[in-house]
Structure formats: C-alpha cells, structure tokens
Chains A and B, each alone.
Chain A
Amino acid sequence: MDQAVKKGATRRDFLYLTAGAMGVVGAGSAAWPLIDSMNPAADTLAAGSTEVDLSKVEVGSALTAVWRGSPLFIRHRTPEEIKSVRDMDWKSLRDPQKDEDRTLKAEWIIIKGVCTHLGCIPLGQKAGDPRGEFNGWFCPCHGSQYDVSGRIRKGPAPLNMFVPPYKFISDTVVHVGSGHDFPNPGF
C-alpha cells in the first residue's frame, strides 16, 4: 500500500477517535448539571439546624421535634433505662456501638427518628405506643425493634438510628445540626 495513503488513513482514524472521545466527554459534562440539579438545593441545605427546649421533658417521657423534615426523637431516660443500654455486651449487636458513643449526657438520647430499613417513622414516642421488646422504638412498617439507645436489635433494619450532630447551649436547650459529631458508622 502506498505510504502516503496509509499515513492518511491512520491520521483519519486518530481524528475519528479524538472527535468521538471529545463528543463523549462533552455530552458527559453536559449531563452533570442536569444530574446535580436534582441534589438538595442551597436553601434546603442551609435549613439544617434547630434548637429544642428540653426543660419540660420529665424523666421517662419523650419529645418529638423536627429536624430537616424528619422527626427528631428525644427521650429523657430513667436510670434503669440507662443501665439497660450501658451494662450489656454491645459488641455482639448488629451494628456494634457503645451507648456512650451515641450520647453526650447519659439521660438524653437524641436521634433522628427514621428507621434505617426503609425510612418509616418508628413508634414509641407517645404514651401507649408499642415500643418493642427492648423498650425503645418499634417500626410499624416491617417490624424493626430498637433499644433505648436507638440501636437496632431485631428485624430487617441494618443500622442503628442516626445520631445528628448537636450541642447543649445551656442545661436545657440543645442545638441540633452542628456541634458534636457522632461516629454513626454506616451512614
């Protein structure tokens, strides 16, 4: 084959390939703004913190606040409840975590009240609600059961309920959305 023709052919292949590759990169980059536009908008992201007054929550009772559109479960735990979640073999749990790693003050458990299975709101905040075998929360959707530390004990959910970042700005007021970051492995 003629050298010049062959050289022309190689060059053509190169140009084809380059043009094709650039087309793909261009189309791909054009797709990103579309995809990213579906992520939470700036104002949604900004509306991320809330303050809750705990002064009226008596020992043994619960309060449900709202944080980022989801319920925030707050429970004022009794000494027995604290004992039940601390004096135990936490290493054998499905999502092994110490209660100490999930609370700032032993008597307050503060978690995002969303079942880690498929996102339902577990029951157990209101008097008369079923709380499951571990006296914590019971998810009505597919029967997940959580203890008073919000750790998954039974049922299909894989993880403990999420502990949001928070800090106490006074003895009885808690700021949720920033502050102490809890480990929450798996999230």
Chain B
Amino acid sequence: MSGSQEKEKFNNKTIQWINDRMPIFSMLNNEYGKFPMPKNCNYFWNFGAIAMVMLVIMIVTGVFMAMNYVPSTAGAFASIQHTTREVNYGWLLRYMHMNGASFFFIAVYIHLFRGLYYGSYKKPRELVWIFGVVLLLLMMATAFLGYTLPWSQMSGWGATVITSLFSAIPLIGGGIVTWLWGGFSVGQPTLNRFYAFHFLLPFIICAAVFVHVWALHVSKSNNPAGVEPKSEKDTVPFHPYYTAKDSFGTAVFMIVYFAVVFFAPLILANPDHWKPFNSLQTPPEIVPEWYFLPFYAMLRSFTVGIKVAGVTLLTAKQQGVLAMFGSILILFFVPWLDKSPVKSARYRPVFKWALRLLVLNMVMLTYAGALPAAGKALVMGRIGAAYYYFFFLVLLPYLGKREKTLPLPESISADYAAHHGGGAMKKALIPAALALGLALAPHAARAADTPPLPNLHWPEQGIFGHYDMAAVQRGFQVYKEVCSNCHSMKYIYYRNLESIGYTKEQVKTLAATYQITDGPDENGQMFQRPGRPTDHFKSPFPNPETARAALNGALPPDMSNLVNAREGGPNYIYAILTGYVPAPKDFHVMDGHMYNEYFPGHQIAMPQPLVAGQVQFQDGTPNTLDNEARSVAQFLDWASNPHMEQRKRLGIKVILFMIAFAGILLATKRKVWSDVT
C-alpha cells in the first residue's frame, strides 16, 4: 500500500498533524476511500470482506476462550465444559468460535470459487491468488489444530490420523511423526504445542491477509466481465459504494451464521466431540470436519499399492497422502495451467460447465468422505479424485488453448448497463446454499444397522421451545434413584439444580445427603463431610477402574453430556431405555450382555435400567416406562445444554436486530448506488 508523496489536506488539525508525520490517513484514503473498484462487481465480491470479518470474530472469541482454557490432557476437556457451563456467556464464545470456523470456510470456499469462475488468478493477479492459496493452507492448519484442543475423542483421534499422514514419507516419516507428537503417541506434549501453534497461526494469517490485500491493491480488483477498466467511467471509489455493498452482504451472512450459533449450534459438530479422549480406543468412525471431507475422501480412496516387477513403488497410503496434499498444492499452479486469454467463465461456455461440475464433484466427495470407508464411498472417492485431477491437469490447459470463447463486452460500463440489477444477488445465493448443503451433507451420510430412532416431540425443541421443568425434575428423580447408581455426572454442580426449579434450601438439603471426600486436613488426612451446593454431583465410583471392577468390565459413560454425545439426542436416550426386547432367535448374545434394538451392535452391557413402576414420582405422574424414559431424557438434555433457553431468547433478539440492520444497510446501499449508471 504505497503512501503517496503529495501532501493531502485534511480539515481536522489533529489528523493533518499526524498525517504530515505519518501519512496513515492518506493511505487509508487511497486504499479504502478513493480506491477504484470496477462498478460491475456482483455479490460474489462480498466474500473477501466477509472472510475478513470472520477472521476477526475468530480471533476475538478465540482469545476469550483461551482465558478459560487449560492445555492439559487432564484438564482440557473439563475446562471447555467449565467455559460452556459456568463462564458468563461462555456458551456463546464457544458456539461462535466452533461454528465460526465452519462459516469462515464457507466464506473462503465461495471466495475461492469466485476466483476460479471469473478468472481472478490470471495476469496480473497471480500473486494475489498464490497468497490466497497460502492463506487457505494456513487456515486449514489452524482449524485442524483447534479441533484437537477440546481433547475429545474426535480431537485426539483426528490429531492421530492427520499427524500420521507424515509417516507416509519414506525413511524419515516415522521420526517426523514422533517429533510432531513429542512422544510415542498423541499426548500432553502434543496438546501443548498444538495450543501454542493454534494461538500463533491466526496472527500469521493476519500478516498473510495483509500481503494478499496489498497485492490486490496493486493489481486492482477483477470483475465479472473479466475485462480491465479502460476509463474513469468504469470504476467507482471503494467508499461509499463497496463499503455499503460489503456491509449489506456481511450483515446477511451474519444472519445465517447467528441463526446456526443460537438455534442449531451443534448441527455441524460430531457427537464424539462430547466424549473425552481415550487414547486406547478409537471411535467406530472417524470423521473430520465437513470442510476437510472432500480431501479426506480422496485420501481414503486408494487401496492398492503400485508395484513394478515386484517392488512396491508407492504404497496405497502414499498414494492417498499425495492425492490429498496434491489437491491443494495444485491450486498454486492454476495461473499457469489455464492460459486462456479470457478471464470470466461467463464467456467460456465449456469451462463454465466444467467448473460447475467440479463444484458438484466436491459435494459428492464431501458426502463420500462422511460415509464409512467401504464400497460406495470408495467408488465415489475414486471418481471424485479422478475428476478433480482431470479438471486441473487436463481440462484447464486444454480448454485454455482450444475453447471457442464468446465475444467480450466492450467495457465494464457496457457490461454494467447490460447486467445492472439482473439477479446477481440471487446468483450469489446459489453457491451459498451449495456450501451450506456441503456442510450438512455429512448428516445425510450416517450409516445405521439399527432401526430409525423414534421421533418424539420434545417441549424444548424448536426456536421457541423451552424445558418442561416439571418433567426435568421428574427426570432428575429418575437419575437420582436409578442412573446415579452407576453413572456419574461430574460436570454438574448441585447448585445447578436451582435452575430447574428447586429452591436454595432444597438443594442444600439434597447436597447434604451425600458424603464427599475432602482434604487433606491439617493432619494430612482426607476426611468425609456432607455435600454442599457448590460440590459437583458425587460420582458413584471414585475412578473408572473401580467402576469396571464392580460392573463386569463395563464402564458406564458420564452423563453430563450424554445427549450431545449421541446421534439423535433425547430420542436416542428414550430409544435405548425402551429398546430392551427379546433377542431374535438366531442372535447370540454374549455373557453379561442384553439385547437392545437401538444399541449399535445390539449387545449392551447395561441391564435394563427402567421398568414401569420403578420410580414413584413425587408429583403423582403415572410411572409408566414411557413417562420415566421421557423425563430422564429431558433431564439429560437440560444437563447437556443448560443454557438452551437463554441462548434461544438472546438468539431471537440478535436475529431481529440483524434483520433490521441488514434492511437499513440495504436501503443505504441502494441510495448510494442510485447515481451509478
């Protein structure tokens, strides 16, 4: 961003004084004030600004998350629980940060598609593009590192799988993996360094964004017609024209983002993220975040080594790793793979469809990546990888030379006159919808060997839904009398029960019925004392080993997060509790196990916990199995999402505000643009 030499005049004396010594205001004015923008840019051009806003949101929420985070294998998961449950607005920080990563990727993927579609990587913007790809790589690294920090099952195993990719390097691969881990498996040293890098990288991203924008401001923005400005008439100053348009676009994007944050914050997250990391047990399916799935699908689709004369040249693993990393690295070469003199796909009839097909191909790969690695998923992965490489290595160079392009518009002004108001916004919605579809595709891909879960109505469902506190209290009674004999709920305090309608006194009396181990006292002895409201729920067993020893080797999961940690949430809980049926004749049930229709694999170690009439509800509700199961599911839903009501209430306000704000911004934008012809 070159500072201009001639002295500018400002009305404000202080500004003038500063500017004479350090021409920062001149620079701002040159780069964001009068900076010439082609006047025909459509809404696709918003996504750079949107990505920038997301970056800021991620850094801000991230720094505040960091204030509550403990980077230790023993404390990380608990500290995230503490943040979400106990810290004021901690749930908001976490859900904004968690979903912010997804929306950052949505914005960046659309931005990248825009660049490909309108040829923004071509001369003279090659460097802008290259720094963009560097940014993409940095973002991916940061996102991966962040994914490991909650130290959940997905975190630990995601970290294991991704770092193990480097073991594909011949000879030194194993050493590199040990070096990355700082040990012989993913553990404390790994978590510590990942945290350090997750904190560091965003600032490197900021620096790279600066360079990316700098390069852009030298070559100036491309536009949908792909012809360069010829005269002053072709451009408008950045401010107020594009500040207005970007603000409006960003506000609309924020509405969708906030809708997810407040009303469906877990929709993009894998339930295994709510189970603490167990380094000795891999979850039955490892799935990365949706934005990595296409690449993950390519990684998995190679299963046969390449052998020449009996010597393995490339193992299947090496091929997969190469295909995956190659798919990103190939983007660096796009400016030289595509030599077509025409930039915009609008005037390239074949390229346009080849590129749209590439987008569909990515959707297919995303879907394939979420399926278990067998059969259909592998076939789709192979086809997808083949088309991906075919597009970049064959179609791009070939079309660049051979395609018969359409005549270009005379100038940007001519293009503007032709396209003005022509549904450009509607067009930007298509890829936005696609990207959201991409994000949700994994949900469609879940496989199941169990019957579909019952789809019950829960009062807490929906935007206006809230907990039925009477049912939640009944559920607590079921937990207390039945579940708590084996299951802990170690992230819940007794005092939390006040928020489901118990009085302070009731909670105090209840807590006091438990004996809590405390100490050491002044003699160095541990002692027992009655529980207090500020104690966590007392666990039935002092440690997992005792639990296993008492329960025939089975370890009952902690129930604090059970609803979030199971696909299907309360429906799943209900289904398991009511799913004990006699085993089919040909089904062999192992010793110490029961048959359950809805349990994956059907063999469950937990004996049927609830039967009709088991609990005498204090409020006189009939104690059918249905009622017992329903109420405990609601109690557990509350335990997993104690701030759900506050979240939705705030969400409605935020969304209404944002809609009004977007409306004002749209009116402003219209007014500003009304003099452009």
Residues of A within 8 A of B (CB): 35, 38-41, 44, 48, 64, 66, 68-71, 94, 114, 117-122, 127-128, 139-143, 155-158, 187
Q: In the assembled complex, which residues on chain B have CB atoms less than 8 Å from the CB atom of A117?
A: 164, 317
Residues in A with CB closer than 8 Å to B316 are 156, 158
Q: Are A118 and B165 in contact (CB under 8 A)?
A: yes
Let me know if A40 and B284 touch, CB within 8 A: no
The verdict on A69 contacting B184 (CB below 8 Å), with A119-B164, A142-B300, A158-B317 known, is yes
With A40-B184, A143-B374 known to touch, is A187 a contact of B174 (CB < 8 Å)?
yes
Contacts of B300 in A (CB 8 A): 142, 156
Give 9 CB contacts A-B under 8 Å. Answer: A38-B193, A94-B305, A118-B160, A121-B280, A140-B284, A141-B157, A141-B285, A158-B318, A187-B174
Chain B residues closer than 8 Å to A139, beta-carbon distance: 282
User: Which residue, A39, A40, A156, has most C-beta atoms of chain B within 10 A?
Assistant: A156
Say yes or no: is B161 at the interface (Cβ < 8 Å to chain A).
yes
Shortest beta-carbon distance from B368 to chain A in Å: 13
Instruction: Find chain A residues with CB under 8 A from B282 CB.
Output: 120-122, 139-141
Which of B163, B285, B315 has the largest count of A CB atoms less than 10 A from its CB? B315
Enumerate chain A residues within 8 angstroms of B317, measured Cβ to Cβ: 117-118, 156-158
Decide: A39 and B182 in contact? CB cutoff 8 A: yes
Enumerate B582-609 residues with CB–CB distance to A below 8 Å. 590, 593, 601, 603
Q: A69-B187, A141-B373 are in contact. Are A39 and B286 (CB under 8 A)?
A: no
Interface string of B70-111 (1 = CB under 8 A from A): 000000000000000000000000000000000000000000
Instruction: Pick the contact of A71: B187, B280, B302 (CB < 8 A).
Output: B280
- Nearest A residue to B321 via CB reads A118
Q: Are A142 and B157 in contact (CB under 8 A)?
A: no
Q: Which residues of B contact A (CB under 8 A)?
A: 157, 160-165, 167, 174, 178-185, 187, 189, 193, 279-286, 300, 302-303, 305, 315-318, 320, 372-374, 590, 593, 601, 603
Q: Within the complex, what minimum Cβ distance (angstroms) separates A159 from chain B?
A: 8
Q: Are B184 and A44 in contact (CB under 8 A)?
A: yes
- What's the Cα separation between A120 and B159 when bound, in Å? 10
Pairwise interchain contact B590-A128, C-beta atoms closer than 8 A: yes
Contact between A119 and B184 (Cβ–Cβ < 8 Å)?
no
Give the distance in Å from the alpha carbon of A146 to the alpha carbon of B303 in the complex. Answer: 14
4 additional contacts (CB under 8 A) given A48-B184, A119-B164, A158-B318? A39-B182, A143-B373, A156-B316, A156-B317
Interface pair A142/B185, CB less than 8 Å apart: no
Contacting residues, chain B, for A118 (C-beta < 8 A): 160-162, 164-165, 167, 317
Closest 4 CB pairs of A and B: A69-B185, A158-B315, A119-B164, A68-B184
* B374 cross-chain contacts in A, Cβ below 8 A: 143
Verify A128–B603 contact, CB threshold 8 A: yes
**A3 to nearest B CB, angstroms?**
45
A38 to B192, CA, bound (A): 11
Please determine whether A38 and B179 come into contact, CB atoms closer than 8 angstroms.
yes
Give the one of B157, B280, B281 with max A CB within 10 A.
Answer: B280
Q: A143-B374, A156-B316, A158-B315 are in contact. Are A70 and B161 (CB under 8 A)?
A: no
> Could you say which of B160, B283, B315, B373 contacts A119, with CB atoms under 8 Å apart?
B160
**B315 and A69: CB pair below 8 A?**
no
Give the docked Cα–Cα distance between A105 and B423 (Å). Answer: 75
